[in-house]
Structure 1
Amino acid sequence: MASILNNIASLKATRNLALSETGLNRTIERLSTGRRINQAFDDAAGLQIANNLRADIRILGQARRNANDANGRIATAEGVHEEAINLLTRAAEISEQAASGTTTSAGRAALNAEWLEIVEAMNALDSDTRFDGASVFGTSYSVRVGEQATEVISISTVAIDAASLGLTANLLTSGGASTVLGQVTTAIEVVSANTGQLGAKMQRLNTLINSIGISIENIQAAESQIRDADVAAEVVNLTKFQVLNQTGVSALAQANQSTQSVLSLLQ
């Protein structure tokens, strides 16, 4: 029935046109942002999951940086350990020479002067070696490498100054030289043992860094599946809504024309 009071066809066409325009606008937004979820109403549950995954990625990223920082600190210690071992090896050599009965007092005095220089060099290595402003030797610290409080790696370094290593004797006498040789031998064992411990920690950290990297990749993929737009599907939607929008405009025009046709009957 034709009516001039209520144009039902026009109302339906207007409603459908509004729906197609909304769909077109949302499709354009998804294509322009690259995201399937741009507001909470797009997918409230998906947005919550995606945000949680993003937080996990940030946490793991920081854990990886923590592990890399620890590796840098360990590498610094290992490099200085090598120099310390070289100094201690030289100290053992001159101690053996000073302990010999064939070495004169003057010779021992000269060797002792070199020994004192080695002691000072060891002290300087201990006090001057720093990483990011913090002392490297004689410290213990924990490296956080995950989300849980239990996911930590504890690292310790021995102090390498003369007093801490027990290097207290001198080479001025044969007996003193023998004492120094024993002290130096023990110091070499202590430093070498700590180097081995640090090497094991570095190996563990490297394994964790690789593992964290894989976890980040997997979580990023999961977040992308939830948050990112399917470009191919959205291009299809774009074409669909463009066609619907055009046909909707035509349908609305046709519906409005029907009212004009009714009025023409009165002429």
Structure 2
Amino acid sequence: MRINHNIAALNTHRQMGQANQGQQASMEKLSSGLRINKAGDDAAGLAISEKMRGQIRGLDQASRNSQDGISMVQTAEGALNESHDILQRMRELSVQSANDTNTDTDREELQKEVDQLSEELTRISDDTEFNTQKLLDGSFEGTLQIGSNEGQNLGIEIGEMGAEALGVASNEGVNFEVGDSTAANTTGALENDTTYSVVELGEEVNIADDGDNGSIDAKFGLEDSNGEVVAVSEDGSEYHALKNATKESELGEDALAESDITSNDGAKFDDPVTSGTVTTNGAGDSLTGATATIKFDGGESLTSGEYTVVDDSHNDISSGENGLVDNKGNLVAVSSDGEDWDTVSGEDLFTSTTTLDTSDQKISVEGDGGIDISSQTAADKAITTIDGAIESVSAERSKLGAVQNRLDHTINNLGTSSENLTAAESRIRDVDMAEEQMNQTKNSILGQASQAMMAQANQLPQGVLQLLQ
């Protein structure tokens, strides 16, 4: 018998430690509900479950993204619902105006409502927003992230739905806005190092254009060698160059080529110049950004938008002619001199007081009010035009509705995927409470039994005392 090493007690102590450790692990799992509480519980299982958790949370966020996408689409589609109502009313007014039981006065009143409805169409297009992003002005082109991984997205683009884009804004009598730095010089431009006479203008300036006279309130003017007034001043110090003017011309920023006309040494006219001659340095010798007045000769008009002047290298343009193409590349007008423009079918379209050349010059047409229903012929034609606008809005709403239905299915699919992946992750990460309770009970009993056996093992060395009696 040995007393220095109680092997039975050591063995029992080891077994009791294992039982206590197992019991503590079971209690940790039972209290957290997780089978894996730390990497040591299951290193491979932890890595797999964390990857699954990333997928699950990505799927859940993608579902929320899709729901936000539906809200955005519904916002746009709801606005277009009102646009549809407006167009239907415009069509109703056009049908009414096309009936010759109406007088010109009646049609003027009908035109007023059409003008207001057209402006409201544009306002809806410009002001409809979702999370500060404009939806219907043609600028929205975005991506919805509808999956948990890279590249799992849906592109969405919403067209412009304003009156001009739909072709129901008036274009009669509006201005071409020259938008390129290659704008042609006009009669009102000042040439370099040229001497001009200073003349008193009184209250009126006559400028030759298409037969109308311009009236500009100014005191002094600069007159070229041909006797034509090319600049005016109210104080004799600051002169403003004139463009080719119509009777609507005014002295202001829109009528300027260069606000400050200086002498050839670069100095401004600090002292009033009210008589004699002056020499300029050519300030304003190009009317960049000026407006070129146009006049429609017939019943035809241009749809509002941006156009580009092209040469005869474009298809369907005869040699030596210029053409006008829209932003889709379609030829809409031709001209042999850059001023008199006809439709592609040969009908008169418009004349301009500024020659439009082919240096990739871009012009824009802006509507003023609603589509014309002021006559029986115009109103009859407006019906077809509005029908086209209604079809455009219908097509856009149909597209948005299809996207919404697709997102509904996307949400359902994401929910199913998230549910099944969560179940798989749960089998790896979560604890089986019944099984772990059984393990905890086993380890608890083993621990108690180990304690009892430890007491018995500690009594064994006392048997040596019997030998010493």
> Which bracket does the TM-score occupy, shorter chain normalised?
over 0.9
Give the alignment partner of residue 234 of structure 1, picking from 436, 439, 443.
Answer: 436
Q: Which amino acid aligns with 2:400?
A: L
Q: Assess if the C-alpha contact under 8 Å between 2:13 and 2:454 holds in 1.
A: yes
Q: Secondary structure at the match of 1:254?
A: helix
Alignment of 1:70-85 (within 5 A): 70-85=69-84
Q: Assess if the C-alpha contact under 8 Å between 1:98 and 1:108 holds in 2.
A: yes
Mapped partners of 2:451, 2:14: distance in 1 = 11
Tell me if 1:204 matches 2:406: yes
Alignment of 1:47-126 (within 5 A): 47-126=46-125
Aligned to 1:243: 445
Q: Secondary structure at the match of 2:163?
A: coil
Per-residue Cα deviation, 1:25-51 (whole angstroms, up to 9, x for no partner): 000001000011101010000111111
Tell me if 1:163 matches 2:164: yes
Aligned to 1:225: 427
- Cα distance, 1:205 vs. partner? 1.1
Q: Which amino acid aligns with 1:244?
A: L
Q: Secondary structure at the match of 1:260?
A: helix
Hey, which of these two has a bigger chunk of strand by percent? Answer: 2
Mapped partners of 1:82, 1:116: distance in 2 = 19
Tell me if 1:152 matches 2:153: yes
Per-residue Cα deviation, 1:35-92 (whole angstroms, up to 9, x for no partner): 1110101000011111111100011111111111111111122222221111101101
- Cα distance, 1:264 vs. partner? 5.3
Q: Secondary structure at the match of 2:166?
A: coil
Q: Assess if the C-alpha contact under 8 Å between 2:33 and 2:430 holds in 1.
A: yes
Normalised to the residue count of structure 2, the TM-score between the two structures is 0.55
Mapped partners of 1:183, 1:265: distance in 2 = 123
- Cα distance, 1:231 vs. partner? 0.5
Q: Which amino acid aligns with 2:11?
A: K
Q: Which amino acid aligns with 1:220?
A: T
The farther-off stretch of 121-130 and 49-58 is 121-130
Mapped partners of 1:83, 1:13: distance in 2 = 85
Q: Assess if the C-alpha contact under 8 Å between 2:118 and 2:169 holds in 1.
A: no
- Cα distance, 1:117 vs. partner? 1.4
Q: Secondary structure at the match of 1:142?
A: strand
Mapped partners of 1:261, 1:191: distance in 2 = 104
Tell me if 1:195 matches 2:402: no
Q: Assess if the C-alpha contact under 8 Å between 1:168 and 1:180 holds in 2.
A: no
Unaligned runs of 5+ residues in structure 1 are none
Q: Secondary structure at the match of 1:164?
A: helix
Mapped partners of 2:2, 2:101: distance in 1 = 130
Mapped partners of 1:63, 1:35: distance in 2 = 27
Q: Which amino acid aligns with 2:141?
A: S
Aligned to 1:177: 379
Mapped partners of 1:120, 1:265: distance in 2 = 118
Mapped partners of 1:148, 1:176: distance in 2 = 55
Tell me if 1:141 matches 2:343: no
Q: Secondary structure at the match of 2:143?
A: strand
Mapped partners of 2:83, 2:48: distance in 1 = 52
State the number of aligned residues.
266
Q: State percent identity of aligned pairs.
A: 38
Mapped partners of 1:4, 1:62: distance in 2 = 68
Tell me if 1:24 matches 2:23: yes
Mapped partners of 2:80, 2:35: distance in 1 = 54
Mapped partners of 1:21, 1:188: distance in 2 = 79
Mapped partners of 2:156, 2:443: distance in 1 = 61
Q: Secondary structure at the match of 2:3?
A: coil
Aligned to 1:129: 128
The farther-off stretch of 193-202 and 53-62 is 193-202
- Cα distance, 1:178 vs. partner? 3.4
Q: Assess if the C-alpha contact under 8 Å between 1:92 and 1:184 holds in 2.
A: yes
Q: Which amino acid aligns with 2:120?
A: A
Mapped partners of 1:173, 1:262: distance in 2 = 131
Note the aligned Cα RMSD (angstroms): 1.5
Normalised to the residue count of structure 1, the TM-score between the two structures is 0.94
Mapped partners of 1:44, 1:118: distance in 2 = 68
The farther-off stretch of 231-240 and 94-103 is 94-103
Q: Which amino acid aligns with 1:161?
A: G
- Cα distance, 1:177 vs. partner? 2.5
Mapped partners of 2:466, 2:381: distance in 1 = 124
Hey, which of these two has a bigger chunk of helix by percent? Answer: 1
Mapped partners of 1:257, 1:97: distance in 2 = 116
Q: Which amino acid aligns with 1:259?
A: P
Mapped partners of 1:265, 1:168: distance in 2 = 122
Mapped partners of 2:380, 2:17: distance in 1 = 97
Mapped partners of 1:253, 1:163: distance in 2 = 98
- Cα distance, 1:100 vs. partner? 2.7
Mapped partners of 1:156, 1:178: distance in 2 = 33
- Cα distance, 1:263 vs. partner? 4.3
Q: Assess if the C-alpha contact under 8 Å between 2:58 and 2:149 holds in 1.
A: no
Mapped partners of 1:158, 1:112: distance in 2 = 27
Q: Which amino acid aligns with 2:147?
A: G
